[in-house]
A and B are shown apart, each in its own frame.
Chain A
Amino acid sequence: MFIGFFLALRAAGVKASLREFLTLQEAMGQGLGEYDIDTFYYLARATLVKDERFIDKFDKVFAESFKGILQPKPVTKPGMEAQQLPEEWLKLLAEKKLTDEEKAQIEAMGGFEKLMETLRQRLEEQKGRHEGGSKWIGTAGTSPFGANGYNPEGVRIGQDKGRNRSAVKIWDKREFKNLAADVEIGTRNMKVALRRLRRFAREGAAEELDLPGTIGSTARNAGYLDLKMVPERHNAVKLLLLLDIGGSMDDHITLSEQLFSAAKGEFKHLVHLYFHNCPYETLWKDARFRAADAIPTTDVLNTYDHTWKVIFIGDAAMSPYELIQPGGGISSWNNQSGQDWLQKFLNNFPKAVWINPVQEKHWNYTQTTKLIREMFEDRMYGLTLEGLDAAMHRLMH
C-alpha cells in the first residue's frame, strides 16, 4: 500500500524510514485512517514527517501522489474585497516576503502600483463570473499573484459574500511553507545554529557537589566524610561580532539585527562593534557612528585575545578602492587599506569567519566579495541556517 507515495517522499528528500512506513501500515491496519482522506493525510503526516521543515515537501508530494483520485470536502472561506486590502500593509508584507526575482517580476509588470491595479481588475473580472468559479488568486500558483506573497501565510483573497464554494485541499494550502529550512530564517532558528558555539566550562563559585571527588577524598580520609564542591558549568564562549551597517547593507539590516538579537540572548561574553563597508582604524560601539562611540581598532585587537571567536557580518560588497587603496574609505581618511586592517584581524583571530547575507550565487559577481573570501580562506558563509551551521562548526574546530 502506498509504496509509490513512500518512494516519492524519499525522492523528494523527506527522510522517512522503513520503520515509519511500517508504523503507518500498522496504524492503517488498526483503522485509524479509514474512509476519510483528511484523516489519512493527518495520520500519514504525523507518522512520516518528524520535522516541521519537511511538512511543505510532504504536502507537495501528497498532492502529486493523490492527485485526481481524491475528492476533498468542500470548504467555505469568507472572502475579502479587493478594495478593502490595506495597501501599505500589503506592501510591507510583500517587501518582507519577496525574493529578488519576484521583485524583478513586479518591476517587469510595471511596478507595485500596476500590479495592484491588475489585481483589482482581475478580482473585478472574477466577480462578474458565475459562482462556481473557484479560481482563487494565489492557490494555483500559476497566477503571478500567487508567487507575490498575497497568499504566503494563508491570506486568501477571494470573492466576497461567501457564495462560492472552493474545494481547497488541506495539503494544497501549503501552510507550512515558511517553515522550510532553506527559505526563511528567524531569530529562533538562528539561536539553534548559534548554540553550536556553546562550550561549557566550570568557572566561578563552587556550588555543586563533586561526587567522584568526595568519594575519593573520603576514602583517603579513612572513611570519614569529606565533601568536595565544584563550580557549576556554564557557557564559556566569548564572541566578538563585527557588523557592517549602512550602504549596500540596508537590504539586509533586518536579518543582521535578528542574528544579533539571537546572539545577544545566547552568550555571556558578547561584544559587538560596527563598521561601514570595511573595517579601518576606527570601529564604533553604536550603529549611529557618533564620535563618542568610536574605538580605535588597534585597541580592539589588543584587548581581545585569540580565545575570542570573531564573526564578521557584512555583504563584503564595496568599491575595490575601499578595500585595496589607502585612503579609499568612504567616511574618513585611512592610512592603511581595508585589506591591511582585515589582515590584522586575521592574524589575531586566524579562525574568524565572515557571514554574508547576500545569496551565495551572487558572490562571484562582486570583486571585493571574492577578494575577502580569498582572504578568509573560504570561511565566508551565507546567512542561512546551513551557512550558520557550517560557520559555527568551523569556528569551533
Chain B
Amino acid sequence: MTRFEGTTSFVATDDLKVAVNAAVALQRPLLIKGEPGTGKTVLAQEVADALNKPLISWHIKSTTKAQQGLYEYDAVSRLRDSQLGDAKVHDIANYIVRGKLWDAFDAPVAPVLLIDEIDKADIEFPNDLLLELDRMEFFVYETRQTIKAKQRPVIIITSNNEKELPDAFLRRCFFHYIKFPDRETMERIVEVHYPGMKSLLLREALTAFYELRELPGLKKRPSTSEFLDWLKLLMAEDIGPELLREKSAAKLIPPLHGALLKNEQDVHLFERLAFLHRRGG
C-alpha cells in the first residue's frame, strides 16, 4: 500500500500523515478542520497526487442537498420531452443525473473524493449521507438499481466549523485539526513554495509575521496563504531585509501590509500602536 508522506509541493506534519494513512488504510472518511488558509482543500489534491489517484471534488454550498451527491431525477427535462413527444421519455434512466458520489463509486480506480466545506450545507446534510459513506452504496428508486462502490474511495471532508456536525457522523470519521504552522514548519512551507529564497529576508519576514499574528485585539489574523502572498510581493518589490527589520523593531506597519491585514479596523489598531510607540520611544 502506498503511504502518504507529503509531496514536493505540500508540507505535511507528522500528525497529519498519521491521520491520512489511517483513513486510507481503514477506508474511513477523514474530517479536516482548521483555521482558514491552512491548506485544508489543497490537502485532498495532494493526497490524490501522492497516492496516484484521480480527484473528484464536491463543493458544498448552503443550498446543496445530500441527494445531489448521489443522483437527481431531472423531472423538468422529462416533462419537456413529453411535451415534444421525444422517444427518450419512456426510459426513466435517461433522466437520472449522476452525482459526485456515484462518480466516485463507479470509477475504475478508487479515487480521492473531496467533500469541501461540509458545514456550509443544511444541518441535516451529514446525517443524510451516513449510510452512503458507511456502506459505500445507495439505492436508486427510479430505476430500482443499487449502486455499490467498486473500490472504496478515499474520502476527505473539510469543515470550517460553521455548524456542529452530528455525533453519529463524527464517529465514522477520522479527525484532524490543522493547527497554525509553527515557525519551523512555516520555513519548510516557504521553502516548498519559493525555493532558494534569501534566508535573511525570510527570517525577518517570519518574525514580523508572527509578531503581527500575536498582536492582541486583531480581528482577523493573517493565514499561511496570506503570508505566502506577502512574501511574493516582498520579493517582487525587492524589499530588503534591513527595511523589514527596521520596521518591525520600531513596531511600524510592515511594508505592503495590505496582503496581511484585510480589515480597516486592524490597520487602524496597528497605526495607533505605531504612533504610541513613536511617541514613547
List A residues at the B interface (Cβ < 8 Å).
15, 17, 19-20, 23, 26-27, 30, 32-33, 38-39, 42-43, 45-47, 49-52, 55, 89, 92-93, 95-96, 153-154, 175-176, 179, 187-188, 191-192, 195, 209, 211, 214-215, 218, 223-225, 254, 258, 261
Contact = CB atoms under 8 A, between A and B. Distances in A.
Contacts of B182: 154
Contact of B217 (A211, A223, A225, A254): A254
B22 A188 contact: no
B206 interface: no
Contacts of B215: 92
A261 B167 contact: no
Contacts of A214: 76, 79
Question: Would you list the 9 A-B pairs with minimal beta carbon distance, nearest first?
Answer: A42-B18, A50-B170, A96-B216, A46-B19, A42-B15, A52-B177, A50-B175, A46-B174, A92-B216
A45 B215 CA distance: 30
Contacts of A38: 14
B216 A93 contact: yes
23 contacts: A15-B167, A17-B171, A20-B171, A23-B26, A27-B25, A38-B14, A46-B15, A46-B18, A50-B171, A50-B173, A51-B170, A52-B177, A89-B214, A96-B217, A153-B214, A179-B177, A187-B219, A187-B220, A191-B162, A211-B75, A214-B79, A215-B75, A258-B219
Consensus secondary structure, chain A interface: helix
A254 B216 CA distance: 10
Contacts of A17: 167, 171
Contacts of A179: 177
Interface string B160-179: 01111101001111111101
Nearest to B122: A200
Which of A32, A49, A55 has the most chain B CB atoms inside 10 A of its CB?
A32
A155 to B, nearest CB: 8
B152 interface: no
A176 B76 contact: no
B216 A95 contact: yes
Contacts of A225: 79-80, 83
Interface string B11-35: 0001100110111011010110100
Given A20-B171, A191-B162, A214-B79, 7 more contacts: A15-B167, A19-B171, A42-B14, A43-B18, A46-B175, A192-B163, A223-B82
A149 to B, nearest CB: 11
A203 B94 CA distance: 35
A385 B57 CA distance: 33
A343 B22 CA distance: 59
